[in-house]
Amino acid sequence: MPSFTTFLKAALLAFSIAANAQGTPGTLGFALGIHKINDETCKTTEDFVADLKLIKEKTGSSVVRIYTTSQCEAFKTLMPALKETGSTAVVGLWATPPDHFLKEIAALTGDLKEYADQVVGITVGSEHLYRKELTGQELADLIKKVQGEVKTLGLDTPVGFADSWNLMADGSANPAIKQSDIILANAFSYWQGSKITNSTQMLFDDIMQALQHVQDVKGTIDIPFWVGETNWPTGGKNFEDAVPNKDNAETYWYSAVCGMLGWGVNTFVFEAFDEPWKPAEKNNDVEQHWGVMTVDGEPKWDLVCPKPSN
């Protein structure tokens, strides 16, 4: 059993995750990068097959998330790899600027029918509200457009969006929530400057606030919901009280990630593999160290739930 405080248990029950009555764990998924070596080299279908096999072997997961369909021809390249390995994906469209969004839609709809079984959901944008690139209503309109395209193909793939938990909790996302068939809420205790000892509580508090608000706005608990991104980095600079290192990342995995799954909440971990070519920002190279595996596919710890007893 995951060890949580009664505070968390009470919060979870109050927020009606009682759908988990039989104790069905949530589904574990991973954000998957589309580049290898550097930003200019795109993964091939063979690279994706190798990634997906490793993810399955080391974690048992067979669900991934990508953030673009057109860049690196990611949709076209990934889909055959998903089919070959019996995996599925939540596929993201990069929603801005408008001419790029049209390219993303075209890259999706061309082959979506052929790969309908591989696509469990479509997200319109990632954190566009957080970056103030779109309003809730603008995002809702884009979601509606993609829903129309999917329907035109005779498919019923759920379409929604992914954004930071606080934009859901504070009402900014309401029009997009209303329009969506699937919702992903991102939450990083590291970027909230949390001590590792409080990081699990913070993730649960964030996600439950987002989920409660989503359920209120939808008027139902019957909405596909995922933690869209979470994890703890193994390198980079301290952020306030958050210290990135392997021990803390391992602690976060067994407590926060395994805990969420244990409560029946689907969770995408950001991310499967390190991306060492990502640039340092504000003198912090933390973006290179979010993988649960190294760039060479070595697990940084035993990637199972719950923690193995030794």
| Cis geometry, peptide bond prior to residue 98 (ω within 30 degrees of 0) | no
Tell me the residue type at 224.
Answer: P
> Residue 96 interacts with ligand NAG (CB under 6 A)?
no
Total interface residues for ligand NAG by CB under 6 A: 4
Cβ of residue 189: shortest distance to ligand NAG, in angstroms? 8
Cβ of residue 203: shortest distance to ligand NAG, in angstroms? 8
Closest CA relative to residue 206, chosen from 223, 220, 194, 219: 194
Closer residue to ligand NAG (CB): 6 or 22 = 6
Cβ of residue 5: shortest distance to ligand NAG, in angstroms? 11
DSSP state of 71: G
On the 0-12 / 13-18 / 19+ scale of CB atoms within 10 A, 43 is: buried
Cβ of residue 191: shortest distance to ligand NAG, in angstroms? 13
Helix (H) / strand (E) element for 300: namely: none
What is the sign of the dihedral through the CA atoms of 221, 223, 224 and 230? Answer: negative
Per-residue contact string for residues 191-210; x = within reach of ligand NAG by CB under 6 A = -------x--xx--x-----
Closer residue to ligand NAG (CB): 86 or 193 = 193
Tokens in use for 291? 């993988």
| Cβ–Cβ < 8 Å for 25, 267 | no
Helix (H) / strand (E) element for 31: namely: strand 28-31
Angstrom distance (rounded) from CA 239 to CA 249: 14
Closer residue to ligand NAG (CB): 48 or 263 = 263
Active site positions, annotated? 127, 229
Cβ of residue 130: shortest distance to ligand NAG, in angstroms? 18
> Phi first, then psi: what are they for 177, rounded to 5°?
-60, -45
Residues of span 256-285 touching ligand NAG by CB under 6 A: none
Tell me the residue type at 1.
Answer: M
Instruction: Enumerate binding residues for ligand NAG (CB under 6 A).
Output: 198, 201-202, 205
